[in-house]
Structure formats: structure tokens, C-alpha cells
């Protein structure tokens, strides 16, 4: 059967179900109200003066989902996709309706108003620090779409996500344990990978002091993330030994290749702990201090498919495959070890006496530091490398960031017509300190010779004001303005000679106006339009992390321009009588100087690095629906359908990409989750996620998406069964990717995974 018809049929089926559910939601009798549902009459507390579409993952929704790592809690929110390639992936990037799975700097993630987005870079390796909120302490997650609030920088172009954790009013003790197993089959790999996670949470209130302590331990072996492969060769084999075990395949552009082994099979152990202290100096005045620690011990292994005549694995050298010669470099199948220890400190103060004062104040200081970050790789080949030998050691300790935020709210009580003014100041500084050394023993040796180095800092200071003006006829006009000063300094590049090249300091200023108009047209309908400008400044690694060859600098550009964004949204929301809500949004982002990795095809030889794409437009429609007791008592439904047209309008560095689809932003996305609660002791959830066609190359030449190196469209189903023995003890059994879809974000995603969980509390 035609592949496009099959994939189109999946989307059509899910879309039809979604549309029918929406129609039923509008037509059904109104059941009693449930306070977990977020409608426009009761907006998420994380966002004041709503100027754009928002969604909430309540605790009820989160507990019906298979949540192993914290980021799993949001995978059924509209347009949200997490690039989580395997369980425990430290590079789980957040993407949204107008930001792809390598656009890590186009979203902002907060944990109780503490920034956990890693804005050191904008690629696959700069995921939010999800570990700072443990899965068992999440109360809810609120999301707003687009850079329409003056309170946030242009990194909010995708979404702003706020994870809220609970503070206890009495003693609480909670523990849970999970085990998971993934039978994985791809190319020459046919293995079952297992893992486990345990977590504990303690908390109490002692007078004016509240405290929580949580800790977790995680261990898992992930499936292969990369494969040693080579394009078809016609070279004569000479005396190269004949090997077996290889697999013929086609790459993402449809060309023949041979796959010779699996790499990046990551056995990972993670531990995290966090203590939070909150003290009420007076009613409405609270100081909160949080200290978090996370460590990761990673051991990435390889699996060679190649065997010589005696059956021994081959890892390097010249080999004869089907009568042609192929050369495996020493690093083609390269193991690695990485040890990370990170710390997060935050101090916040909140003053808000709603009944006594029109004013509220908030201040927050944060510091995130790479206490230790060491990666070791051999430059000699296996099997000799298993016992040591020459290699490289990369150090990133000293990298990190700190932030400071001060905010004031003025909310005078003037009936239906009045002002709600927010204004504040923001400061952040991001530091890169990356060094690579060669050494004699990659497993444990000391650093000897400098191989490469990258340093630099970026700093942003911002002032903003925003006023929500309540007018006649249930109309609210919100005006905002944000002014930012950005600079990059201290940038250097060092090579192996060693030669160090220093970059001059540079700075930029940008003013971002915001406008939003909403109208409560009826008791059930809210209409809203928003128009905003924003800037997303280059990150420190986009500017300074690259390679030095001789005395020339390549593969980075310290003169990158900031992204300039003009964003608009029109939205209509309907309150379904307290039992749910329905939203339809039209959105468009016009981005000048979009920052992404690409190849400049106008120069010879071509240069591949982070570059500005002259103009990109992302427009589309997003719909979402939540309904309780739909069709029958105890059946809850939540779903979304998103269409996006991410088009490249101008690109002087790569003219062949003009008119093509922007990378890693699918044209269609859909979710639908159904939870049935037949009684108070159990619930069943069946859910589906669809992502349409997307590309990994700006010229869209990667037409073969269902292969390693491709960017796949996919349809996966998840299931979970919860059973509560009593108020203190429960168990769950679930499966992610129940239909065992094989799909890729360049790397293969997880195949069918079985999960069991036991939870208990005092």
C-alpha cells in the first residue's frame, strides 16, 4: 500500500475522532463542574494578564500518563513535542507549534518561577534541566504560547512553561518505584534494554516554616542512538579481509549505504536531590530557598555487526564488503564516558497581601553551575581501547549561568474599569568554559596537551512594563513594552598549537512592544487578538563554540544577528459549563534572521555552521479541547489538532531552501487521550500522538524519513492502568509506543516500552 496513504490515513482517522469528540463536547449535557479544568474564567496562576493561548496539565492528567522522567508530564499538551529519544535522555528538547526539536532556545521553562531552561545554546544538547522538579512533586504544569507578554524575553517565541510543585501544610511522606523494559530491534541489534527509577518526597510545616526534601535514583540502558555507516563504495578491496554481518540500507536522502555497527548505547545512572525551605515572615511575605544537586554517570558502548572469518568483531581498518573496500576510522565505533555534577541555587521573595494592598512584589536570584562535567573518548580503536590507550578529555566545569529578576504588580480596585500594571527588571549572564585535551590514557589519564578550547559570556538586561486595562463591555486592552540590552564578551577560541583567538565585545539593544485585546462576547465565549514584537539574541555557544585550524577560525560566527520576531494570534475560547473548554487559535510568526545550523552553498568550499536564515514564516491553526464525563459518566477526553506551515521565504546563503519547509517543525500534529474511571479505585487511559512530515535539511532533500538520519512523521499510542488499593498504596501498569512504531529524530526513538510502578504514602 502507498506509504503516504497509510500515514495520511492515520492522521485522517485521528482527526475524525478528534472532530467528532469536539462536536460531542459541544452537544453533550453539562455534567457537574470539576476544578481541575482550566478555562478562561480561571486562568493558570503562573500567568497574569493573559495575552495569548494557555493550557494546563493538571495533576489528574499527569497521573493518567506514563511519567518516568519529568518531561513526560507535558507530552499531551497541544502542539508540544519532547525530543526524548530514550528513557533518561539528558537532551530532551521541548518543541512547540513554531519551534522545532533542535530549537532549544526558543522556549522558556520555569520551576516555581525559577528558570531551568539551559540558554547556553540552541541545539540538541541544551535541554531544560528537568531534574530540578521531580515527577512526584509536580502539582500542575502551565503553558503559554508565543512571545506576547512583556514579562518574558524573545526566547518565549515558542512557549513559556511553568512547572508548579507543592508546599505542604502538614507532614507528607511519599515514595514510588518504577521498572521498565524495552525490546528493541533495528538493523543488527536485537536486545532488551531495562531500567528502573525510585523517588522519595518528604515535607512538613512547622509554624511559619515549610520544608520539602526529595531525592531520586535512576538507572537505564538506552538503545543505540547512532550507527556506523558508509555510502556504497566501488573501490577495489585489495587485501582487505572479507567480513560478514553488515546490513544494506538507504540513508535519509535515498542513497545506498551499508550499516556496520551500533554506537552510543548509553548505560546511565542519575541521582538527584533537592531541599526547599519556605519561611513566612508575615502573612503574604515569604522567602524560599532551594538547593538542588544532580549527577549523571554515563558509559556509552558500541556493538559491531562485522565479523571476520573466525567470527571475531571488527571495529576499525579496511574491510571487504561485497567485493568493495571500506575504511573504518579508529573513532567510527567509539565508546565514551561522561561524569556530570550540577548544582542549582535559588532564592525568591514574594510579598502579596491581596486584601490589604494594591501592590505585590517578587524577587528571584538563581545560580546554575557545572560543578563537574568531564567527557572521555579514545582515539585508538577497540578492542585495544577497552583497556586504555590514547584519547581526549573534554572539560566543561565552570560553565553555567545566573539570573536576577525583580517584579512589581499594581492592582488598584476600581470596579470593572481599572488597571493591572506589572513592571520589572531582568538580568542574566551565561558563561561557556569548554576545553579539550589529549592524553595517554583516555580512561583515567591526566590532561596533557591542549586540543581545543572555547570560552565566552553573554549578558542580557531588560526592563518591562505591561498594563491590562479593563474597559466597558467586558473588553480588556493590554499594552506592554520590553527594552533589552544584550552584549557578548570574553569570547576566545584555542587550537592545538596552541593558538588563541579573541573576539571583540559586541552589544545590541532592542525594544519589543506588545498589544492584546480581549472581549468576553458572551458568558461562554472569549475572543482575543494579540500582536507583538520580540528578539531572540544569539546564545554563547552559537557565537563562540567552534573549531580553530592553524590561525584561522571556522565553524562559528561571533557576528551572528539576533532573531527579530513579529508574532500574531487570533483566538476564540468557549467555556463548556465548567466541565471543560474548547479553543481555536490562528497564529503567525514572521522571523527575520532565524538562527539555525545550515550549509552555506554560495561559497567554495561550503561552510556548515550556525547561520542566520534571512526570513522564515510560520503560520497555522491550533485547536484544543478538554471534556469531562464525555458520552458517559467517568470518561474524560483531552485532545488537540495543530496545522503549521513553516516556510522559508528568503535565504541568501542557501537559495535552494527558499520556499521549503523549515526544519523540525511538522505540518500536522494531533493528540487524543481518553481516561475512563469506572470507580474510585481504578482508571484506564488510552492515548495517541501524531506528528506529520518534517525535515532535517533546509532544502528538504531528506525525503526518506523512516530511517536512521531521517526526521519522521509518526503515530504512537500509549496506555496506562492505575489501581488504588487504598488511599496510601497504588500500582500502575503501562506501555509507551504500544503499536511499536519505528520513528526517528535523526536518532531512533524508543520502541514499545513496558512500565510498572508502585506508589505509597504515609
DSSP code at position 304: E
DSSP string, 508-520: EEEEEEEEEEEE-
What does the block give as the cell for 6? 497509510
Higher-scoring residue by pLDDT: 4, 521: 521
Position 417 confidence tier, pLDDT thresholds 50, 70, 90: low
Mean predicted confidence (pLDDT) in 198-225: 96
pLDDT tens for 494-546 read: 887 888 889 999 999 999 999 999 999 998 999 999 999 999 999 999 999 87
**CB of 542 within 8 A of CB of 595?**
yes
Confidence check: pLDDT of 635 > 60: yes
Q: In 3D, which of 84, 133, 95 has the Cα closest to residue 113?
A: 133
**CB of 147 within 8 A of CB of 532?**
yes
- Coil, helix or strand for 233? coil
Report the pLDDT value the prediction gives residue 38, as an integer from 0 to 100.
Answer: 34
Query: How does strand 159-165 pair with strand 107-111?
Result: parallel
Assigned domain for 116 exists = yes
Q: Give CA–CA dist 405/114, Å, rounded.
A: 10
Report the pLDDT value the prediction gives residue 22, as an integer from 0 to 100.
Answer: 45
Report the pLDDT value the prediction gives residue 495, as an integer from 0 to 100.
Answer: 84
**CB of 428 within 8 A of CB of 405?**
no
Mean predicted confidence (pLDDT) in 472-482: 94
Handedness of CA 353, 354, 357, 363 (dihedral sign): positive
Assigned domain for 682 exists = no
Phi and psi at residue 562, to the nearest 5°: -70, 150
Mean pLDDT of the chain: 90
Please state, in angstroms and as integers, the Cα–Cα distance from residue 744 to each residue in 84, 191, 333, 397, 747, following that order.
11, 18, 21, 32, 5
Assigned domain for 486 exists = yes
Mean predicted confidence (pLDDT) in 169-193: 97
Q: Give CA–CA dist 244/687, Å, rounded.
A: 42
Least confident of 37-51, 80-94, 396-410, 725-739: 37-51
Confidence check: pLDDT of 34 > 60: no
Mean predicted confidence (pLDDT) in 245-249: 97
What does the block give as the cell for 337? 564516558
R_g over Cα of the chain: 26
Q: In 3D, which of 265, 243, 96, 287 has the Cα closest to residue 191?
A: 265
Compute the half-sphere exposure of residue 702: CA atoms within 13 Å on the CB side of its CA: 24
Q: Give CA–CA dist 434/493, Å, rounded.
A: 10
Domain of 593?
3-648+663-677+688-761
Confidence check: pLDDT of 11 > 50: no
Confidence check: pLDDT of 16 > 60: no
Q: Give CA–CA dist 242/643, Å, rounded.
A: 51
Q: Give CA–CA dist 445/439, Å, rounded.
A: 6
- Residue identified by cell 592553524 is 550
Q: Give CA–CA dist 52/466, Å, rounded.
A: 14
Assigned domain for 750 exists = yes
pLDDT > 70 in the chain, percent = 92
Compute the half-sphere exposure of residue 277: CA atoms within 13 Å on the CB side of its CA: 7
Higher-scoring residue by pLDDT: 604, 403: 403
What does the block give as the cell for 660? 521549503
Mean predicted confidence (pLDDT) in 101-112: 95
Residue 271 CB neighbour total at 10 angstroms = 16
Strands, E assignment, 222-335: 226-231, 247-250, 256-282, 285-304, 317-321, 324-328
Report the pLDDT value the prediction gives residue 225, as an integer from 0 to 100.
Answer: 97
Report the pLDDT value the prediction gives residue 553, as an integer from 0 to 100.
Answer: 41
Confidence check: pLDDT of 6 > 60: no
Mean predicted confidence (pLDDT) in 623-647: 94
Phi and psi at residue 582, to the nearest 5°: -135, 135
DSSP code at position 6: H
What's 322's domain CATH number? 2.40.170.20
Report the pLDDT value the prediction gives residue 599, as an integer from 0 to 100.
Answer: 86
Assigned domain for 715 exists = yes
Phi and psi at residue 85, to the nearest 5°: -80, -30
Confidence check: pLDDT of 114 > 80: yes
Residue 501's Cβ-count burial label (10 Å; 0-12, 13-18, 19+) is: middle
Position 576 confidence tier, pLDDT thresholds 50, 70, 90: confident
Position 3 confidence tier, pLDDT thresholds 50, 70, 90: very low
Assigned domain for 458 exists = yes
Mean predicted confidence (pLDDT) in 459-476: 94
**CB of 660 within 8 A of CB of 615?**
no
Assigned domain for 657 exists = no
Report the pLDDT value the prediction gives residue 547, as an integer from 0 to 100.
Answer: 53
Report the pLDDT value the prediction gives residue 18, as an integer from 0 to 100.
Answer: 44
Mean predicted confidence (pLDDT) in 51-57: 92
Assigned domain for 653 exists = no
Counting the structural domains of the chain, the total is: 1
Q: Give CA–CA dist 305/190, Å, rounded.
A: 11
Position 9 confidence tier, pLDDT thresholds 50, 70, 90: very low
- Does the predicted TM-score (pTM) go above 0.75? yes
Report the pLDDT value the prediction gives residue 577, as an integer from 0 to 100.
Answer: 77
Residues with Cβ within 8 Å of residue 623, at least 6 apart in sequence? 22, 78, 582, 583, 584, 585, 640, 641, 642
Confidence check: pLDDT of 349 > 60: yes
Residues with Cβ within 8 Å of residue 665, at least 6 apart in sequence? 95, 97, 98, 99, 100, 618, 644, 646, 694
Report the pLDDT value the prediction gives residue 21, as an integer from 0 to 100.
Answer: 43
Report the pLDDT value the prediction gives residue 491, as an integer from 0 to 100.
Answer: 96
pLDDT tens for 379-398 read: 999 999 999 999 999 999 99
Report the pLDDT value the prediction gives residue 47, as an integer from 0 to 100.
Answer: 61
Q: In 3D, which of 645, 519, 637 has the Cα closest to residue 572?
A: 519
Q: Give CA–CA dist 495/3, Å, rounded.
A: 48
Confidence check: pLDDT of 550 > 50: no
- Residue identified by cell 557545572 is 370
Position 608 confidence tier, pLDDT thresholds 50, 70, 90: confident
**CB of 501 within 8 A of CB of 553?**
yes
Please state, in angstroms and as integers, the Cα–Cα distance from residue 666 to each residue in 107, 307, 593, 692, 699, following that order.
17, 40, 21, 5, 15
**CB of 512 within 8 A of CB of 482?**
yes
Position 113 confidence tier, pLDDT thresholds 50, 70, 90: confident
Higher-scoring residue by pLDDT: 27, 376: 376
Amino acid at each position: 500500500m502507498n506509504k503516504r496513504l497509510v500515514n495520511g490515513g492515520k492522521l485522517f482517522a485521528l482527526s475524525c475522532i478528534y472532530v467528532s469528540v469536539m462536536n460531542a463536547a459541544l452537544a453533550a449535557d453539562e455534567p457537574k463542574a470539576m476544578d481541575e479544568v482550566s478555562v478562561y474564567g480561571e486562568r493558570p496562576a503562573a500567568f497574569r494578564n493573559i495575552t495569548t493561548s494557555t493550557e494546563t496539565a493538571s495533576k489528574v492528567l499527569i497521573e493518567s500518563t506514563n511519567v518516568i522522567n519529568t518531561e513526560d508530564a507535558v507530552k499531551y499538551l497541544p502542539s508540544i513535542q519532547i525530543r526524548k529519544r530514550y528513557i533518561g535522555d539528558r537532551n530532551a528538547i521541548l518543541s512547540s507549534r513554531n519551534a522545532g526539536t533542535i530549537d532549544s532556545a526558543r522556549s522558556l521553562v520555569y520551576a516555581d518561577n525559577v528558570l531551568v531552561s539551559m540558554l547556553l545554546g540552541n541545539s540538541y544538547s541544551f535541554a531544560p534541566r528537568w531534574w530540578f522538579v521531580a515527577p512526584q512533586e509536580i502539582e500542575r504544569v502551565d503553558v503559554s504560547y508565543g512571545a506576547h507578554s512583556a514579562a518574558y524575553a524573545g526566547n518565549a517565541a515558542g512557549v513559556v512553561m511553568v512547572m508548579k510543585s507543592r508546599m505542604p501544610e502538614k507532614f507528607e511522606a511519599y515514595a514510588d518505584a518504577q521498572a521498565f523494559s524495552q525490546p528493541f530491534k533495528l538493523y543488527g541489534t536485537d536486545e532488551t534494554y531495562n531500567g528502573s527509577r525510585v523517588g522519595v518526597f518528604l515535607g512538613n510545616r512547622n509554624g511559619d516554616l515549610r520544608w520539602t526534601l526529595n531525592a531520586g535514583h535512576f538507572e537505564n540502558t538506552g538503545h543505540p542512538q547512532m550507527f556506523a555507516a558508509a555510502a556504497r563504495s566501488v573501490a577495489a578491496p585489495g587485501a582487505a579481509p572479507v567480513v560478514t554481518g553488515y546490513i544494506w540500507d538507504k540513508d535519509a536522502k535515498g542513497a545506498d549505504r551499508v550499516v556496520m555497527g551500533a554506537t552510543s548505547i548509553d548505560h546511565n545512572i542519575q541521582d538527584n536531590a533537592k531541599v526547599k525551605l519556605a519561611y513566612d515572615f508575615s502573612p503574604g511575605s515569604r522567602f524560599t530557598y532551594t538547593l538542588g544537586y544532580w549527577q549523571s554517570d554515563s558509559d556509552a558502548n558500541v556493538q559491531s555487526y562485522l565479523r571476520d572469518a573466525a567470527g571475531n568483531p571488527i571495529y576499525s581498518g579496511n574491510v571487504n564488503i561485497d567485493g568493495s573496500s571500506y575504511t573504518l576510522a579508529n573513532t567510527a565505533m567509539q565508546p565514551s564516558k561522561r561524569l556530570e555534577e550540577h548544582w542549582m541555587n535559588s532564592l525568591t521573595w514574594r510579598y502579596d497581601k491581596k486584601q490589604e494592598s494594591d501592590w505585590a512584589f517578587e524577587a528571584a536570584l538563581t545560580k546554575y553551575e557545572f560543578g563537574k562535567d568531564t567527557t572521555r573518548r579514545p582515539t585508538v580503536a577497540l578492542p585495544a581501547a577497552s583497556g586504555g590507550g590514547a584519547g581526549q578529555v573534554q572539560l566543561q566545569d565552570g560553565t553555567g549561568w545566573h539570573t536576577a529578576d525583580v517584579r512589581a504588580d499594581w492592582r488598584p480596585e476600581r470596579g470593572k474599569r481599572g488597571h493591572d500594571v506589572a513592571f520589572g527588571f531582568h538580568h542574566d549572564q551565561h558563561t561557556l568554559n569548554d576545553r579539550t585535551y589529549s592524553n595517554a590514557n583516555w580512561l583515567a589519564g591526566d590532561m596533557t596537551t591542549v586540543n581545543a578550547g572555547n570560552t565566552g559570556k553573554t549578558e542580557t538586561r531588560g526592563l518591562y512594563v505591561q498594563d491590562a486595562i479593563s474597559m466597558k463591555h467586558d473588553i480588556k486592552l493590554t499594552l506592554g513594552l520590553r527594552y533589552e540590552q544584550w552584549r557578548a564578551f570574553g569570547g576566545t577560541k584555542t587550537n592545538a598549537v596552541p593558538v588563541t583567538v579573541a573576539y571583540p565585545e559586541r552589544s545590541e539593544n532592542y525594544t519589543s512592544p506588545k498589544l492584546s485585546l480581549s472581549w468576553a462576547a458572551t458568558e461562554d465565549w472569549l475572543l482575543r487578538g494579540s500582536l507583538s514584537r520580540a528578539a531572540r539574541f544569539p546564545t554563547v555557544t552559537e557565537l563562540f563554540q567552534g573549531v580553530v585550524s592553524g590561525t584561522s577560525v571556522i565553524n562559528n560566527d561571533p557576528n551572528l544577528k539576533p532573531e527579530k520576531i513579529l508574532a500574531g494570534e487570533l483566538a476564540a475560547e468557549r467555556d463548556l459549563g465548567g466541565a471543560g473548554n474548547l479553543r481555536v487559535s490562528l497564529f503567525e510568526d514572521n522571523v527575520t534572521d532565524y538562527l539555525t545550523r545550515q550549509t552555506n552553498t554560495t561559497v567554495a568550499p561550503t561552510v556548515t555552521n550556525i547561520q542566520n536564515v534571512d526570513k522564515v514564516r510560520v503560520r497555522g491553526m491550533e485547536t484544543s479541547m478538554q471534556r469531562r464525563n464525555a458520552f458517559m459518566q467517568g470518561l474524560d477526553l483531552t485532545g488537540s489538532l495543530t496545522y503549521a506551515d513553516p516556510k522559508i521565504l528568503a535565504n541568501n546563503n542557501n537559495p535552494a531552501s527558499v520556499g521549503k519547509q523549515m526544519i523540525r517543525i511538522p505540518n500536522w500534529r494531533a493528540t487524543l487521550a481518553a481516561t475512563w474511571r469506572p470507580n474510585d479505585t481504578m482508571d484506564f487511559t488510552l492515548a495517541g500522538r501524531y506528528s506529520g512530515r518534517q525535515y532535517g535539511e533546509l532544502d528538504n532533500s531528506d525525503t526518506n524519513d523512516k530511517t536512521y538520519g531521517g526526521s519522521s512523521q509518526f503515530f504512537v499510542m500509549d496506555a496506562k492502568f492505575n489501581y488504588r488499593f487504598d488511599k496510601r498504596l497504588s500500582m500502575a501498569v503501562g506501555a509507551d509506543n504500544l503499536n511499536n512504531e519505528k520513528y526517528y529524530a535523526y536518532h531512533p526513538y524508543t520502541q514499545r516500552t513496558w512500565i510498572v510502578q508502585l506508589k505509597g504514602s504515609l
